[in-house]
Structure 1
Amino acid sequence: MSLYLDSHATTPLDPRVREVILRHLDPSFGNAGSTHEFGQRGKDAVNAARDQIARVVHARRHEVVLTSGATESNNLALLGLAAHGERTGRRHLVSTEIEHKAVLEPLAVLQERGFEVTLVPAEPSGRVAADAVLAAVRPDTLLVSVMQVNNETGIAQPVDAIAAALGDSAAFLHVDAAQGYGKDLVPLTHDRIDLISVSAHKIHGPQGVGCLIARRRAGILPPLEPIIHGGGQEFGLRSGSLPVALIAGFGLAAELAADERNSRHQHCVRLKKHFVRAFTDLGAALHGDAEFALPNALNMSLPGLDSDQALEALAGVAAVSDGAACTTICATASHVLASMGVTGAELDGAVRLSWSHLTPESEVVAAIPKMVQRLQAARAPHDVWPAPDA
């Protein structure tokens, strides 16, 4: 079986989380919206999970709006503020060129509705400059949306610096924290961040559940309007019966991620050293400044191979990606790397490896020589791998 190296796409389910999910599927199967004892047990489980999820970012239970995942949360944050922007004449939005499509596409929808969008490019380091984001903010800016950690490169963005500098600006601040929540804890605790999007399956929870954390500012919630109607659940912002078992699993996954953050981080650091050593020895170009990178991902280009060739060579040995998992079928070059200034063969050849604390170090050590052998064999006969210091 291949070594799984695509944890930025989804993480394996923690066995402890699985136990909680099964317990709430049977016998604790009640609808949290029902008033009888079965429903009350479901409601209690949901509220306990809200507390666990909120605690990671120093928020409160009633600020957690449960959704199907970060994509829906991003849509609710952006599209849900549109009516307020139209009423107040604040029709300007600031974001970055390296956002996930779950942010860029809602922004495009708002552009079609008459909003103006400013996208700030990344620097070669993989980060956007906080000053550049702040310089784009105007009196009519409705929202600033900047991801916490890039899904392709693993590079952390300066969301806490942006939050601090926005101060008492009327602009709302949204952070897509799909890749950073539960891993890089401190930035998301800044109380100037109004909206935080989270997915459970990025922190060893179940797929199909996430949340939008909507913080009160001066006692007032962001003026969101629902994009899903039909029952009034989630404080009127997201209708639909709550998946109690998934939510309970999400809650435990969030708690475990925060409690075990240091040991998980150190394990991922050790794994990254193995990968960096092996692939730099092959002359790989590593994308993004290591100073700003989380230790659970590596984006690289290999000389003499495009991304399709690299993925094919590694099939059966390691499961890796050529970018965002939800866009690989499009077969287009990475907009993230392009914004960073990566061009030509390096842009076409980029692949992403990502792992977690559940990735066994012994399996990584065993797999790396096989990966190297496969990649060397796959390159065209006339290609020459450069020396490490070339």
Structure 2
Amino acid sequence: MVTYLDAAATTRVDQRVAEVVLHWMTEEFGNAGSRTHEYGAHAKRAVQQARTYLASTVGAKPDEIIFTSGATESNNIALLGLAPHGEQSDRRHIITSAIEHKAVIEPLEHLESRGFEVDFLTPGPSGRVEVKAVQERLRPDTLAVSLMHVNNETGVVQPVAELAHLLSKSPTYLHVDAAQGFAKRQDDLTAPIDMISISGHKVGAPKGIGALVVRRRGWDKIPLQPLMYGGGQERKLRPGTLPVPLIMGLAKATEIFLNEHEQWAKQALLFRERLLTALSSTRHHINGDSEHTVPHILNVSFEDVDAEALIVRLKNLAAVATGSACTSASYTPSHVLTAMGLEADTASNGLRFSWFPGDIDDFDPEQIAQVVRELQPATT
């Protein structure tokens, strides 16, 4: 059986979550927008309970949670939805990093075509953007800073909490793509971050459900404009019938993950240590700051080993990836590793191992090391 080591791309839906989703699909299947009968009223109450719970996990208010299809949509609503305010107020400067997910980079490239100026900061070999670097780029016309919580390729944690406290005293809004960090580094997300993008399928929920946290600043709302129209659901920012089963699945998955987080982190770290011990017999380079990282993602480049060739050799043993699932079909060097200033061979051969306890309990990482040793030419 192939061991699944690509949890940063997606996770298995927890069986307990699947049961909740199925229940709301087949038994209590009402439309939360139907106000004339108990089916709809019950669905509406359930959604409100889920909204209240999810808000509490990041220190937000229930009406500050907008359900979306996932972090990509949330990123687009946050960044493109803020653009009209930037145009009206003549604040067209945005700061981000060159290691963001394409779900942030591409909307910002679109805004560049509309006359916005975007600063793409490079983090250096650590893969961690410094708060000082952001501070140095702030200007009176800076509309927003968009910085990811946890990098999806290296697992490096960015200083979003510190940045949130800094920017809360300024007119510049902070958006954080927390697809990889939600529930895993939850304390960071209770900081006064203006907008947080959440994805369910990274924590055992189904694909197709996520949220955007849109916090008020005192009494002031973030001046977002909708990207779609037709129904007025979700504070008129995201129209469409609410997917009650998926929303309930997201809430259940989050509850399970947070309740079991301590054990999850312990098991994830244990496997990381076992993997690193096994790889110590190979010639390799760990990409990213090991001091500021989540325990379940490791990016490694192996000397004199082509990453694609290694994936082929591992295909009957372990499911791994070269980077983001959104760009893994492309064999170009990782834009993340390239932006970190790594040498071309290292950047083009980064291999991401990411795991979820339960999927790796019986797997011996020495099997990976053995394949690497077979591919690496002997040193003289």
TM-score band by shorter chain is: over 0.9
**Counterpart amino acid of residue 363 in structure 2:** V
CA deviation after TM superposition for structure 1 residue 220, in Å:
2.0
Secondary structure of the structure 1 residue equivalent to 2:212:
strand
Secondary structure of the structure 2 residue equivalent to 1:175:
strand
CA deviation after TM superposition for structure 1 residue 123, in Å:
2.3
Secondary structure of the structure 2 residue equivalent to 1:265:
helix
**Rounded Cα–Cα distance in structure 1 between residues aligned with 2:340 and 2:297:** 17
**Rounded Cα–Cα distance in structure 2 between residues aligned with 1:240 and 1:107:** 25
Alignment of 1:339-350 (within 5 A): 339-350=339-350
**Rounded Cα–Cα distance in structure 2 between residues aligned with 1:348 and 1:238:** 38
CA deviation after TM superposition for structure 1 residue 385, in Å:
5.6
**Rounded Cα–Cα distance in structure 1 between residues aligned with 2:13 and 2:61:** 26
CA deviation after TM superposition for structure 1 residue 239, in Å:
0.7
Q: Is the 2:209–2:247 contact (alpha carbons within 8 Å) kept by the matching residues of 1?
A: yes
Determine the structure 1 residue equivalent to 2:124.
Answer: 123
Query: Is the alpha carbon distance of 1:101 and 1:94 closer, same or farther for their aligned partners in structure 2, counting shifts above 3 Å?
Result: same
**Rounded Cα–Cα distance in structure 2 between residues aligned with 1:178 and 1:138:** 28
**Rounded Cα–Cα distance in structure 2 between residues aligned with 1:220 and 1:255:** 30
Alignment of 1:47-86 (within 5 A): 47-86=48-87
Q: Is the 1:66–1:211 contact (alpha carbons within 8 Å) kept by the matching residues of 2?
A: yes
**Rounded Cα–Cα distance in structure 1 between residues aligned with 2:44 and 2:51:** 10
**Rounded Cα–Cα distance in structure 2 between residues aligned with 1:150 and 1:285:** 18
Q: Is the 2:144–2:174 contact (alpha carbons within 8 Å) kept by the matching residues of 1?
A: yes
Q: Could you tell me the TM-score, scaled by structure 1's length? A: 0.95
Secondary structure of the structure 2 residue equivalent to 1:174:
strand
Q: Is the 2:101–2:152 contact (alpha carbons within 8 Å) kept by the matching residues of 1?
A: yes
**Counterpart amino acid of residue 143 in structure 1:** A
Determine the structure 2 residue equivalent to 1:270.
Answer: 270
**Rounded Cα–Cα distance in structure 1 between residues aligned with 2:206 and 2:45:** 19
Number of matched pairs? 379
Greater alpha carbon shift after TM alignment, 209-218 vs 256-265: 256-265
Greater alpha carbon shift after TM alignment, 41-50 vs 72-81: 41-50
Secondary structure of the structure 1 residue equivalent to 2:282:
coil
**Counterpart amino acid of residue 341 in structure 1:** G
Is it true that 1:290 corresponds to 2:284 in the alignment?
A: no
Determine the structure 2 residue equivalent to 1:317.
Answer: 317
Determine the structure 2 residue equivalent to 1:223.
Answer: 223
Alignment of 1:228-307 (within 5 A): 228-307=228-307
CA deviation after TM superposition for structure 1 residue 26, in Å:
1.1
Query: Is the alpha carbon distance of 1:385 and 1:101 closer, same or farther for their aligned partners in structure 2, counting shifts above 3 Å?
Result: farther
Determine the structure 2 residue equivalent to 1:372.
Answer: 369
**Rounded Cα–Cα distance in structure 1 between residues aligned with 2:9 and 2:333:** 18
Determine the structure 2 residue equivalent to 1:143.
Answer: 144
Secondary structure of the structure 2 residue equivalent to 1:332:
coil
CA deviation after TM superposition for structure 1 residue 260, in Å:
1.9
**Rounded Cα–Cα distance in structure 1 between residues aligned with 2:153 and 2:164:** 23
Query: Is the alpha carbon distance of 1:110 and 1:199 closer, same or farther for their aligned partners in structure 2, counting shifts above 3 Å?
Result: same
Q: Is the 1:134–1:166 contact (alpha carbons within 8 Å) kept by the matching residues of 2?
A: no
Q: Could you tell me the TM-score, scaled by structure 2's length? A: 0.97
Q: Is the 1:271–1:364 contact (alpha carbons within 8 Å) kept by the matching residues of 2?
A: no
Q: Is the 2:128–2:158 contact (alpha carbons within 8 Å) kept by the matching residues of 1?
A: yes
**Rounded Cα–Cα distance in structure 1 between residues aligned with 2:304 and 2:168:** 49
Q: Which runs of no fewer than 5 residues in structure 2 stay unpaired?
A: none
**Counterpart amino acid of residue 180 in structure 1:** G
Q: Is the 1:123–1:129 contact (alpha carbons within 8 Å) kept by the matching residues of 2?
A: no
Q: Is the 2:279–2:366 contact (alpha carbons within 8 Å) kept by the matching residues of 1?
A: no
Alignment deviations for residues 138-175 of structure 1 (CA, whole Å, 9 cap, x no partner): 11011100000000000000111111222321011000
**Rounded Cα–Cα distance in structure 2 between residues aligned with 1:331 and 1:51:** 43
Q: Is the 1:56–1:255 contact (alpha carbons within 8 Å) kept by the matching residues of 2?
A: no
Is it true that 1:87 corresponds to 2:88 in the alignment?
A: yes
Query: Is the alpha carbon distance of 1:385 and 1:372 closer, same or farther for their aligned partners in structure 2, counting shifts above 3 Å?
Result: farther
**Counterpart amino acid of residue 376 in structure 1:** R
Secondary structure of the structure 2 residue equivalent to 1:186:
helix
CA deviation after TM superposition for structure 1 residue 354, in Å:
0.2
Q: Is the 2:4–2:360 contact (alpha carbons within 8 Å) kept by the matching residues of 1?
A: no
Q: Is the 2:182–2:198 contact (alpha carbons within 8 Å) kept by the matching residues of 1?
A: yes
**Rounded Cα–Cα distance in structure 1 between residues aligned with 2:213 and 2:342:** 34
**Rounded Cα–Cα distance in structure 1 between residues aligned with 2:363 and 2:145:** 39
**Rounded Cα–Cα distance in structure 2 between residues aligned with 1:268 and 1:385:** 33
**Rounded Cα–Cα distance in structure 2 between residues aligned with 1:31 and 1:231:** 13
Alignment deviations for residues 87-131 of structure 1 (CA, whole Å, 9 cap, x no partner): 111111010111000000000000000001011111211101110
Q: Is the 2:6–2:355 contact (alpha carbons within 8 Å) kept by the matching residues of 1?
A: yes
**Counterpart amino acid of residue 83 in structure 2:** A
CA deviation after TM superposition for structure 1 residue 281, in Å:
2.0
**Rounded Cα–Cα distance in structure 2 between residues aligned with 1:51 and 1:14:** 22
Q: Is the 1:4–1:318 contact (alpha carbons within 8 Å) kept by the matching residues of 2?
A: yes
**Rounded Cα–Cα distance in structure 2 between residues aligned with 1:132 and 1:295:** 26
**Rounded Cα–Cα distance in structure 1 between residues aligned with 2:43 and 2:379:** 58
Secondary structure of the structure 2 residue equivalent to 1:294:
coil
Q: Is the 2:275–2:366 contact (alpha carbons within 8 Å) kept by the matching residues of 1?
A: no
Determine the structure 2 residue equivalent to 1:99.
Answer: 100
Determine the structure 2 residue equivalent to 1:201.
Answer: 201
**Rounded Cα–Cα distance in structure 1 between residues aligned with 2:379 and 2:43:** 58
Alignment deviations for residues 284-314 of structure 1 (CA, whole Å, 9 cap, x no partner): 1111121001100100011221111111111
**Rounded Cα–Cα distance in structure 2 between residues aligned with 1:82 and 1:17:** 37
Secondary structure of the structure 2 residue equivalent to 1:264:
helix
Is it true that 1:356 corresponds to 2:356 in the alignment?
A: yes
**Counterpart amino acid of residue 117 in structure 2:** E
Structural RMSD (CA): 1.2
Percent identity between the two aligned chains: 44
Determine the structure 2 residue equivalent to 1:326.
Answer: 326
CA deviation after TM superposition for structure 1 residue 185, in Å:
1.3
